Structure 1
C-alpha cells in the first residue's frame, strides 16, 4: 500500500499536478481529529491547541504544484527531518515557480526555518486559510502572480478590490536560518523559488513566537470541560486565539507607507515594557493593542493562562497615551496610520474604563488601580463633557469628531454607547468606594443615563431598543444586547429585547448585527456584539445563549483555520475583508469567558475573588467542570445533572455564594437548607427556580438539589 502511494505521488509530481493533502492521523483520543469524540471527566488536556514548547512543525503537505518548474522526490520528506529531501527546481520567474504548500494543522505564529541545501532564492508565503491562499495568478487581486501562496497583511497593497502590485507579504529565506521577520498568524506555508535554481528541503519548522514568556504555552492555569464536545472546542479555541495574539511588546506593526516595505512585526508598542508581552488585536494584521479587543481578551487571559503581566502591560501602555483633555485613544499609537486615528473612536473610551474595572475585579491589585485612578477620573470627565452638550442627556460623538465604532461609524445618540457609559458610571462608583471615596455622584449619573436611554430609545411597539435618536427605525444587536448586559433594561424589557433579536436577527450562521429587513444598516455577523448577546441571554437565564455559541462559533471552527476565531463575517459566510481579514482575532473569544462564568458559573463578586459565586446555567448539558485561577488560589468547581436534580462541588479559598436549579429539597454538605419551598438555614434564598446559599465558608462544599 505504501509503495502504491509513493508511485502515485511520483506520477503526479512528474506530471506537474497537485499532490493531495496528507492529513494528520485521526486518533480516537484527539477531539480535534477524531470523527467522533466523547468528553470524559478530568480529561481536558486533549482539547488544548497550544504547543508544549516553542517549536512547531507542519503536520501535512497540503499540495505541491509544479507549474513551469519541477518538484522531485516525495514532498512529505519536508515533514520528516530524517535527511531525505524534496527538491524544488525553479522556472524563469516566480510566477512559474513550483509550489510546496505545507499545513501546520492549525493557526500558528513565528519565524520559519527551512533546513536544506541549494542555489535558488527561496521565499516563504503565509496564509491563514485555503480560501485566500493565492495559488492562481489572479487570486487576491493579482497577488497569486507576485506572492503565490500568500494572503494579504498590508492595507496599502492588495486591499480587497485594489490591485496587488508588489510583493509586501512573502519573506525571502536563508536556508538553515530563522526568518528575519515574525509572521503573526498563519496555518499554511508556501515555499517557492524566485527564478531559476534549485533547493532541496529536508525539514521545516517555526519558532512559535506567540505567548513567548509562557515556557509551556499548553500549561493552562484555568480550564473548562463539559459533556458537550463542541462547547469544549470553542472554549479552547478562544483561549488559543488570545495566545496567538500575545507577543512581546517590541513586535508590533507600524503600518508601512514606503513602497515595497515588507510585512513586518518589529515596532515597539508606545509606553509598554518591550521585554514583556502585550495582547494584540490580531496576530496577522493590525498587530497593535486596542481598547475594545482587550475588553474581551483580558478576561479570557485571567481565566486561562492567567498571564496578568501581559494584561498589565497592554492596559498601561494604552492608559499612558491619554490626551490632556482626558480623551483616551483607542489603539497603540505605533505608526502614522494609528496616529491619524488619534481621536476617531469615541466608543473605545468607554472600554478603557471597563478594562480598568475588570482588572480590579479579577486581580484586586490596589496599587495598579491607584496608579491609574487619575487617568480614570479624567476619562470620565471627558465623557461627561460630551454628554453635557446634549440637553436630553445622552452621549453622541459627532461634535467632537470621534464617531468611530467597532463595526460602523455613527455620530448619533446611540443606545449602545450610552449603555456602555451607564455601566462605566456604575463601575466608577464601585471603584471610588473601594478607594474609600464617595461614589454617589457616579451612581446618580448612572441612574440618569439609564433613564434617558429608556425614555428616548426604547420602542414600546417594537419591543426593542432603537439604534439612536437619529436612526430610530433600526434595532441592532449591539443596542439590545448591551442594554440587557449593562442593566439598562429591566427584566421585562430584557426579555422583549432578546426575543426581538431572536425573531429578527438570528439567521443561518448566528445573530446578525441588524435584521435583514431594515434598510438603514447593512447586516453582518460580528463576534464582539454576538458575545454580548450570548452573555446577556445566559445572564438572564435564557439558555438559547448556548445555541448561539454553538451555531456561530461552532460554524467558524468548521472553517479554516479551524482553531481560532474571526474578526467579522459577511452574511454569505466569508470573512469581512477577504484576504485582508484577521482569522485569529481576540475580540471573537468571548465564549471562553462566558462558558466559565455562566455555564461553569464561577464569577468574582469582590475584587480579586475576595468573594465569589458559583451559579451554573446548565442548559441541556449533563455536566461541566473546571478550574479558575485567582489571587487567592484556584477555585475548582464541577456540577452534574443527576437525573433527579443537580450536584455542585466547589473548592475555594474565600467565602462565596453557591446556587443550583432546584424544585425540591436542597442540601449543603449533607445538611438540609431548603425544603417545601422555604429556607431551613441562615443565608439561603430562592428565586427564579434557583436556590442560593450565601456566606459559604472557604473549603470544599457540596450543594445538591433533588
Structure 2
C-alpha cells in the first residue's frame, strides 16, 4: 500500500477508535462518565441499609430500609427466641451506628453487633456437660454458658446417641441451660455440647484495635441510640436480648473512613472487561476503608491501617501495595495519608536501624499503640515504602530527610547476609511462618531493597553509595541463581534447608525483579502454575499460615506482577481472575466491596476476624493502571513516565493517573483481532516519557498521523524495537499513536 494511503488508514483507525479511547477529559465532561458506576464509596455521610430481615417476633423490618411507615417493632418474651433484625448495607462501611427508637415497652436490653460476613454474626456455643444429667432432666450444668440464646437448638453428644433440644432459658452465673423437651436418656459429664445458630457475636479484634465489640443499650423512651466506632462491617445485627418491646423507625451509620465520591477520584480506570473494572474500584475502596481520618479515635493525624476492622494498625508490608494505590487513585489526599503513616514508622526506628513491622500495633492498650518489631524482612519493607512514596509523589524534601534513616535500616538488614551473599534469618514474613537457612525470598527482598536504595541514592544521595548497593544486589542475584535454583523443581527452592519446596513468593519476585535468566523463565512460569487452584495460587505444597489459610492475595499480587514483567499477560490476568474474581462477585457470601486478607483452599476464610477489606490485597488496582492501561512512573513524581499497555485480549482500556505535574490520561483500542493498536495519551508539559506499542519489524507506526516506524526502521522520536514493542521517546504533550501490520 502507498505510504500516504497507509498513513490515512492509520489515522482513520485511530480516530475511529475514539468512541472507545476517548480522551478522559472529554469523558469527564459527560453527564455521567461510565466509570462512575463502579465507585463504591457512599454518596452521603450517613449510610442506610439496603436490606433488612427479621427473626423472632419482628413486624415491618423493611421499614428500616425504606424509612417509611411506623418503623419496625421487635418484641421478646421470656423463653422464646429473642427478636432480632439483620441489616445489610450491601458492602462494607465504617463508622458509628445510630438507631432511632420511637417507642419502648418494659425494660428491654437491645444489643448491636457488626460483621463483615453474615456467617460470623452468630457464634455457636461449644462447651461440655460439667455435671451428669439424668433422663427426664430439663436443666443441665455446662462448663460454660457463653453464646447461648433462647430458641436456638442445643445438641448433647454426637452420632447416634446425640440428643437435640431447644434452649428455653439459661443462667450465665450458674452455667446452666434449661431445655425442652426433657432429656430422653442420661448425659454423662464431659459430653460435647453444640448449639445452632448461636448467639450474636462481633467479628472484630477488639484487643488489637481498641474499637468495636458489642454495643448494649437499655432504652427507656423514644430517642436516638448511638453506638461506638466500628472499623469495617457489612452487617448489623440488632437483638432485643431481654423481654420487652422496641419500635425502631430508622438505622444508619455515620461513615468515618475516607469517603470518596467520583468527584474525589484523581485517577480512574475503565476497560472492556467488567470484572477487571470491579477489581480496580474494589481495591480503591479497600484503601478508603483502611484510611483513618484525622481526629478519629483520639489520633490527630491521618493514617493508613492494614484493614478496615483489623488490626487497624500501620503495617510496612501492606504499605508496599497501599501507598501506590492511595496515591494513584486519590492524588494529594492519598499521598498525605501515606506520608503521615510513614512519619509514625520512622519515629519508631530502633537505635540499631530496625524499623518496626507495625509502629502502632495493639491499640487495645493505648490509642497510639506500641511498635512491633515483627520481622527483619518487614523492616526492609518499611524502607521501601518510603522510597515508593518518593517515586509516586516526587517529594524530594521528605525523601532527603528520611535518607539517613533508610541507610541505617539497610545497614541493619545487611547484617543478615552470609559469606555467600544470601540472607540467613530465622524470621517471620507475611504468612507468619519462620524460614531457616539461606532463604530465597528474604535474599531476593534484600536484592530489591538494595536496588531501590541505589535508585534513591543516585537522585538524592551518593553515587558511590548507589554503586556499592548495586554491586551487592548483583552479588545476591548471582548467588540466588547459583545456590538456590532447583533443577528438580525447575524453579527456586524455598531455602538451602528446604531446596525441594516450591514457593510462590520467591519465584514470583524473581520474575518481577529480573533475577530469572531468560532461558529459565518458561520453567519458572510453568512451576508456578502447579500451585494454582480455582481460587488462586497457594503459598506452596503443605504451607499455610497459623489459621490454615493457604492462599495469600499479597503473594498472588507478587505473581501477577512477575508474569506482567516477563510479558505473560494472559497468565497474569487469569490468576487475577481466580484470586480476586470471587471477591468482587456480589453473589459471593463473603462479598464486602473490599478485597480480602487471605483465603483457604476452598476459597473461603477460616476465622471470624479474617479481614475482608485488607489493603495488601489491592494490587490489581495499581497493576491494571500500570500494566493494562500501561501508565507507570519512571522518575520521581512522574517527571519521566512510561506508557506501555499489555492488552491481554481486552479490546480497549482508558484511564487517568494524577502526578505532581498534572494528570496523565491515556486510552488504547485493539482492533481487527489485535492487528492494530490505536493509543491516545495526554501527558503534562515539562515531563518526558516513553510510549510503547505492541509491534514487530513489519509494523507501521504513526504518531499524530506521521509515520515514525516502518520496515524495521525508525523515522522519529528515537523509535526502537525491543521486547515486542516499538518504543518512542517523547516530551509531554498530546499524542495519537497507531500501529498496524504485526
* TM-score range for the pair, normalised by the shorter chain length: 0.7 to 0.9
1:97 aligns with 2:82: yes
CA contact (8 A) 2:283 2:621 kept: yes
Taking the TM superposition and a 5 Å limit, the aligned residue runs for 1:668-679 are 668-679=703-714
Distance 1:522 1:149 in 2: 25
Shift of 1:134: 1.0
SS at match of 1:482: helix
Residue 276 of structure 2, aligned match among 227, 231, 236: 231
1:222 to 264, 267, 271: 267
**How far 1:217 moved relative to its partner?**
7.2
Pick closer, same or farther for the CA change 1:155–1:336 going to 2, 3 Å. Answer: closer
Within 1, Cα distance between the matches of 2:302 and 2:207?
27
How far apart in 1 are the matches of 2:575 and 2:386?
28
Q: Deviations over 1:370-393 (max 9, x none)?
A: 121111010001011221xx2222
Deviation per residue, 1:477-522 (Å, 9 max, x gap) = 00100111122222233332122101x101121211114699xx98
Distance 2:97 2:460 in 1: 49
Is the contact made by 2:64 and 2:250 (CA closer than 8 Å) also made in structure 1? yes
What SS does structure 2 have at the residue aligned with 1:657?
Answer: strand
- SS of 1:455's partner is helix
Match of residue 361 from structure 1: 391
Say whether the 8 Å CA contact 1:422–1:488 is kept in structure 2. Answer: no
Deviation readout 1:228-273 (Å, 9 max, x if unpaired): 000000111111111111113665xxxxxxxxxxxxxx3x6xxxxx
1:413 to 414, 438, 441: 438
**Larger Cα Rg: Structure 1 or Structure 2?**
2
Q: How is 1:51-450 mapped onto 2 (pairs within 5 angstroms)?
A: 51-61=42-52, 63-66=53-56, 70-71=57-58, 73-92=59-78, 96-119=81-104, 120-134=108-122, 143=147, 145=149, 148-154=199-205, 169-173=213-217, 176-177=223-224, 179-211=226-258, 216=261, 219-248=264-293, 251=296, 266=297, 274-306=299-331, 307-335=334-362, 342-387=372-417, 390-398=418-426, 402-438=427-463, 439-450=466-477
Structure 1 residue 143, shift from structure 2 partner: 4.3
- For CA contacts below 8 A with separation 6 or more, give which structure has more relative contact order: 2
Q: For the Cα contact (< 8 Å) 1:240–1:564, is it kept in 2?
A: yes
- 2:739 is equivalent to residue 705 of structure 1: yes
Is residue 347–residue 405 contact of structure 1 (8 Å, CA) maintained in 2?
A: no
Give me the whole-angstrom Cα distance separating, in 1, the residues matched to 2:621 and 2:718.
31
Distance of 2:379 and 2:543 partners within structure 1: 32
Partner of 1:50: 41
- Between structures 1 and 2, the one with greater strand share: 2
Conservation of the 8 A alpha-carbon contact between 1:403 and 1:411: no
Distance 2:637 2:450 in 1: 20
Matched, 1:617 2:608: no
Instruction: Tell me which residue corresponds to 1:6.
Output: none
Residue 583 of structure 1: SS of its match in structure 2? coil
Unaligned runs of 5+ in 2: 1-30, 128-144, 150-171, 173-197
Match of 2:555 among 525, 529, 551: 529
**Residue 598 (structure 1) aligned with residue 627 (structure 2):** yes
Q: Distance between the aligned counterparts of 2:471 and 2:543, measured in 1?
A: 38
Q: Secondary structure at the match of 1:108?
A: strand
Indicate if the aligned counterparts of 1:110 and 1:208 stay in contact, CA closer than 8 A: yes
SS of residue in 1 equivalent to 2:572? helix
Separation in 2, partners of 1:655, 1:378? 33
The two structures, once aligned, show a CA RMSD in angstroms of 2.8
Answer with 185-194 or 228-237: which moved more.
185-194
The DSSP-based 3-state class of the residue aligned with 1:592 is helix
Aligned length: 621
Q: How far 1:111 sits from its partner (Å)?
A: 0.5
Structure 1 residues 318 and 567, CA gap change in structure 2 (3 angstroms): same
Deviation of the 1:461 alpha carbon: 3.5
Q: 1:161: which partner in 2?
A: none
SS in 2 for 1:386: coil
Structure 1 residues 176 and 211: CA distance shift in structure 2, 3 A? farther
1:661 aligns with 2:688: no
Cα pair 1:674 1:684 within 8 Å, conserved? yes
Deviations 1:192-223 (A, max 9, x none): 123122211111110110116x6x47621110
2:20 corresponds in structure 1 to none
Q: Greater CA deviation, 448-457 or 145-154? A: 145-154
Deviation of 1:540 after TM superposition, in Å, equals 1.3
Secondary structure of 2:44's counterpart equals coil
Give the CA deviation at 1:410: 1.8
Range with bigger deviation, 49-58 or 405-414: 405-414
Cα gap change, 1:522/1:154 in structure 2, threshold over 3 Å: closer, same or farther?
closer
